[in-house]
Amino acid sequence: MDGFENFWAIYGNLVLTLGTNALLALSIWLTLTCGMLAMANAAFMGIGAYAAALLTMNYEASFPAALAGGMLAPALVAALIGLPTLRLSGVYLAMATLGFGEVVRVTILNTESLTGGALGLNGIPQLTQWWHVALAVVIVLLVLWRVRRSKIGRSFDAIRGDETAAQLMGIDIRSSKMLAFVAGAAIAGLAGALNAHLTFFIGPNEYGFDRGVEILTMAILGGIGGLAGPVLGAFIITILPEMLRGFADFRLVVNGLILVLIVLFLPQGIWDPARFSRWMRKGGRNA
């Protein structure tokens, strides 16, 4: 028992960060499965973090209410910006959502009376417990697993495969994309709200371009072929800095290198059920 307490005292925050990063990876996984390269998840995380923190600090809201607010605020913002931006696709959508992220960061910097500006928010009550994070990850995984096996999930797969063919099959492309975008924003906001009440402090630079690349790296590294992929990618990207502490200044370079290597050699990510199936068939024939 003493050994576990010592481990938790040292690595407790790291374990909880694994959970919040898994939520972030799942949030962008949802939009990627619908064929959208949207890079606004870091901004949605920031909106959720600030909304939840302000609710508990300024309005003495209960923790569940703060989490709900942290999910609702980015979901509403996603619904508003999704109307014009989801008409775009590919790199143009990525550029538009990156621009939105910068707008959010600058807005936070210039609303000092509310957000603390560049100094951020200090003294956020530490309300996040390990079971909050574990429960959130389990619920999100169950919901996404159910969605993936439903008509909605099949619509997402069809849109990612061929948007024109999906439209000819009667799938409402616009509504499906909006659903994935808004739901992904809500999940990212939940991760932000949990993280804000774990770290005591949040600042605008935590939700910039670097964090957006990191979130995308988690999903691409793990693979979008299944729900296990983003969780695996989040685990690797979270643990990697601890293993390479001496190269902390090159963290973004390492993330970029990982993305390049994955695209070149494992385009479907580490977790690729189709590749595993091929290996199993080959193994059976060789036997």
> Distance between CA 36 and CA 108 in Å, rounded?
26
> 266 pLDDT exceeds 80?
no
Owner of token pair 């064929």: 35
3-state helix, strand, coil in the chain (%, to 5): 80, 0, 20
pLDDT of residue 74: 97
Count each helix (H run) and each strand (E run) in the chain, helices first. 13, 0
The model's confidence at residue 2, banded by pLDDT at 50, 70 and 90, is low
- Look up tokens 């209410």; give the residue: 65
Predicted confidence at residue 230, as pLDDT, reads 92
Question: In which band, very low, low, confident or very high, does the pLDDT at 174 lie, cut at 50, 70 and 90?
Answer: very high
pLDDT in tens, 66-125: 999 999 999 999 999 998 898 888 889 999 999 999 999 999 999 888 898 888 899 899
Question: With 60 as the cut, is the pLDDT of residue 19 above it?
Answer: yes
Angle (nearest 5°) at CA 53 between 48 and 58: 130
H or E segment to which residue 212 belongs = helix 209-222
pLDDT at 177: 94
129-159 per-position pLDDT tens digit: 999 999 999 999 999 999 999 999 999 999 9
